Amino acid sequence: MPTRTTGETSGSSGVALDIDRRDLAWYVDKAVAGLVFVAGISAIIFIIGIFVFITREGIGFLTSAFDFKEFFGSPAWRPTSERKATYGALALIAGTASVTGLAMIVSVPFSLGAAIFIGEFATGKTREALKILVELLAAIPSVVWGFIGLSIMNPLIIETFDVPIGLNILNSGIILGLMAAPIMTTIAEDALKAVPDSYREAAEALGATRWQVTRRVVIPAAKNGLVAAVLLGVGRGFGETMAVLMASGHSVNMPTSVFDSVRALTATIAAELGETAMGSDHYRALFTLGILLFVVTFVINLTADLVVRGIRKR
Amino acid sequence: MADSGPDTRADVGAPAAATEEGAAVSVAPLAIETREFNLWYGTFQALFDVDLKIKSGIITSMIGPSGCGKSTFLRSCNRINERLGYVRTTGTIDIMGHDVLADDVELLQVRKQIGMVFQRPNPLPLSIRDNVLFGHRIHHAGEKVSKSDEGEIVEKALRDVLLWDEVKDDLGGPATGLPLEAQQKLCIARLLPVKPAILLMDEPCSALDPKGTEAVEELIWELRGDYTILIVTHNMAQARRASDECVFMLLGKVIEHGLTEDVFLSPEDPQTSDYIEGRYG
């Protein structure tokens, strides 16, 4: 790089000033900026890429064999029927919805309770220890949860409720609820932590007890974040595959009670995709389920995000 | 004080009655009395053997350079300091004759007696009305208070802080949307329905512009007599204008405590005069 001595242009001070000199730090900065830019937009590229891929594989079904009424209105998922294959996803949707719904009933009170305890009541070492434990809980692989559902919950449910099979909505709902709890707890606790401490101080100075502060000040102020936490928990439950596959019984069934076995959308894809001929109607129908899952989780996450942003704007 | 003690205790909720009591035995009743009060944040000692007698019904200002322990002392009186979790104390603080550091003290009752105004206005993220009623509702939890009673409480409190005319048409609006000066007045207003005897003010004007400062100072002066006011300030002109007695602190110790004009005009301790003349701080 040409370096110019600028003695004659630097004015009367007479100090030499290499005004256009680029040192190593400049190049490092540019290189790092480029790298993190690529890393940053890669998330967007991957999401678009996944969506394009799923849509491309599923679109053939959507344009040819897809029957809107059958897909959303019929519980008959018989893709391998020799006489007439039918692709009714209603039972699968109901399966996913019932398991996720029960999971939320189990998970929301636990998670919000845990978040409030960690964020507002626990202090010092208790608080730190609990936070670490909750994060550890989030790291348990889903197949382990599924294993617990199969080998512990299954006999327990059969014995306790005197039902023929323990792999059902109750089992998978509880397992999924426990799986969703750590992430909901963590996000809910972040929402509580974002409430300025001056609010708590003001309320406490007025004589409010810890619970009064929490109920009347902190929870209303953190409302949006808490809603987002629940939504993200729902999204987590919706997309979970392995544990639900193992604990739900995996039988196509319109559920009428929590002791019915059901099959989830995700589990259907996981179990059947390997056995289909690439490009067949069955293969494409599974990708259509994928599109449905993608759209639903996308909407849930987007809503959660918008809800959180709502809190910041105010 | 000692012989009038039991009677005063029965009347802790009514500062006016306490004043009459004091007049009867011709001893000015004490709102706050500390004896050899020491305080540590972890291993750092912030207060050293503080012995203070703060009289009822007057305004006492606390001055001193940053970090001298004024705010710490203030925050010890309603024990809000303990939120930090690593605070340790020795000695006693008596509020209206009660040792508030005793083990069996209900913090809720202590804080009912002692209102606090913070450095930065900190209205709760609720409506103006709910802010004013917050303390009242907490101390009357489980009781039914009619809407019209609540309306009266709100109006009286806001009138007392000279804020009523400004906000009367927007009582349901968010308190955090008010100008800072109005927020600080609101923070004072929400203390009043609880009927505290003592108001602690921790640099209540430091976040305000000169006009806001003037308005809030005027308000503090209005409240004089109805409440015992202990105000921490960095602003010496403010201390001089707006207080009856003045406490000068330095490095966690009380250096001087007397009538404001005495402290400012003829300070006993050379450190006080140094500070007042602006040689440090």
Tell me the shortest Cα–Cα distance from A213 to chain B, in angstroms: 10
Give contacts of B80 with chain A, Cβ < 8 Å. 201, 204-205
Token digits for B41? Answer: 């944040």
E strands along B142-272, which residues?
Answer: 198-202, 228-232, 245-250, 253-259
Give contacts of B115 with chain A, Cβ < 8 Å. 205-206
pLDDT band at residue B7 using 50, 70 and 90 as cut-offs: very low
Chain B's closest residue to A202, CA to CA, is B122
Instruction: Look at residue A19 in the predicted model and tell me its pLDDT.
Output: 81
> Taking CB atoms and an 8 Å limit, are B83 and A201 in contact across chains?
yes
Tell me the shortest Cα–Cα distance from A227 to chain B, in angstroms: 18
Residue B64 maps to which CATH number?
3.40.50.300
> Taking CB atoms and an 8 Å limit, are A207 and B107 in contact across chains?
yes
> Taking CB atoms and an 8 Å limit, are B78 and A205 in contact across chains?
yes
Structural domains in chain B (count): 1
From the list A196, A206, A217, the residue facing B111 with the nearest CB is A206
Task: Find how far residue A212's CA is from the centre of its chain.
Answer: 32
Instruction: Look at residue B240 in the predicted model and tell me its pLDDT.
Output: 87
From the list B80, B120, B138, the residue facing A212 with the nearest CB is B138
Instruction: Look at residue B236 in the predicted model and tell me its pLDDT.
Output: 84
From the list A196, A204, A207, the residue facing B83 with the nearest CB is A204
According to DSSP, residue B81 is labeled: G
The Cα–Cα gap between B176 and B170 comes to 13
Chain B's closest residue to A199, CA to CA, is B124
User: Buried b vs exposed e over B69-97: b needs ≥16 C-beta within 10 Å?
Assistant: bbbbbbbbbbbbbbeeeebebebebbbbb
Q: What are phi and psi of A172, to 5 degrees?
A: -70, -30
Give contacts of A203 with chain B, Cβ < 8 Å. 124, 134
B45-52 average pLDDT score: 90
Q: Give the ipTM of the model, two decimals please.
A: 0.81
Residue B73 gets the label, from left (phi > 0), alpha (psi -120 to 50) or beta, of alpha
* Placement of tokens 């639900």 in the chain: A244
Inside any domain, residue B281:
no
Instruction: Look at residue B276 in the predicted model and tell me its pLDDT.
Output: 84
Residue B203 gets the label, from left (phi > 0), alpha (psi -120 to 50) or beta, of left
Residue B17: is its pLDDT beyond 50? no
Q: What is the pLDDT of residues B202-224, one digit of tens each?
A: 988 888 888 888 888 888 888 88
The Cα–Cα gap between A243 and A178 comes to 11
Inside any domain, residue B141:
yes
Inside any domain, residue B45:
yes
Inside any domain, residue B256:
yes
The Cα–Cα gap between A294 and A272 comes to 18
What does each of the 314 residues of chain A score in pLDDT, given as a tens digit? 455 554 444 445 556 777 888 889 999 999 999 999 999 999 999 989 998 998 888 888 888 777 788 888 888 898 888 888 888 899 999 999 999 999 999 999 999 999 999 999 998 899 999 999 999 998 999 999 999 999 999 999 999 999 999 999 999 999 999 999 999 999 999 999 999 999 999 999 998 989 999 999 999 999 989 999 999 999 988 888 899 999 998 889 898 998 999 999 999 999 999 888 888 888 888 999 999 999 999 899 899 888 888 755 54
Inside any domain, residue B171:
yes
Query: Alpha helix locations (H) across B27-179?
Result: 70-77, 107-113, 128-139, 147-160, 164-167
More confident residue, A82 or B93: B93
CA-closest candidate to residue A124, choices B43, B80, B83: B83
- Domain limits at B114? 5-276
Residue B195: is its pLDDT beyond 90? no
Chain B's closest residue to A195, CA to CA, is B125
Task: Find how far residue A42's CA is from the centre of its chain.
Answer: 19
Q: Which domains does chain A have, with CATH numbers?
A: 77-313 (1.10.3720.10)
Give me the residues paired with residue B174 across strands: B127
Instruction: Look at residue B2 in the predicted model and tell me its pLDDT.
Output: 42
Instruction: Look at residue A4 in the predicted model and tell me its pLDDT.
Output: 52
Give me the residues paired with residue B55 across strands: B30
Tell me the shortest Cα–Cα distance from A221 to chain B, in angstroms: 7
Residue B149: is its pLDDT beyond 50? yes
> Taking CB atoms and an 8 Å limit, are A202 and B125 in contact across chains?
no
Contact between A258 and A275 under an 8 Å Cβ cutoff? The reply is: no
Contact between A153 and A166 under an 8 Å Cβ cutoff? The reply is: yes
Give contacts of A196 with chain B, Cβ < 8 Å. 122
Tell me the shortest Cα–Cα distance from B135 to chain A, in angstroms: 6
Instruction: Look at residue B18 in the predicted model and tell me its pLDDT.
Output: 43
From the list A196, A199, A206, the residue facing B135 with the nearest CB is A206
Cβ burial of A14 (10 Å; 0-12, 13-18, 19+) is: exposed
Inside any domain, residue B132:
yes
> Taking CB atoms and an 8 Å limit, are A207 and B194 in contact across chains?
yes
Give contacts of A123 with chain B, Cβ < 8 Å. 85
Give contacts of B125 with chain A, Cβ < 8 Å. 199, 217, 220-221
Instruction: Look at residue A134 in the predicted model and tell me its pLDDT.
Output: 93
From the list B85, B135, B187, the residue facing A207 with the nearest CB is B135
- Enumerate chain A positions whose Cβ falls within 8 A of a Cβ in B: 123-124, 196, 198-209, 212, 216-217, 220-221
> Taking CB atoms and an 8 Å limit, are A206 and B190 in contact across chains?
yes
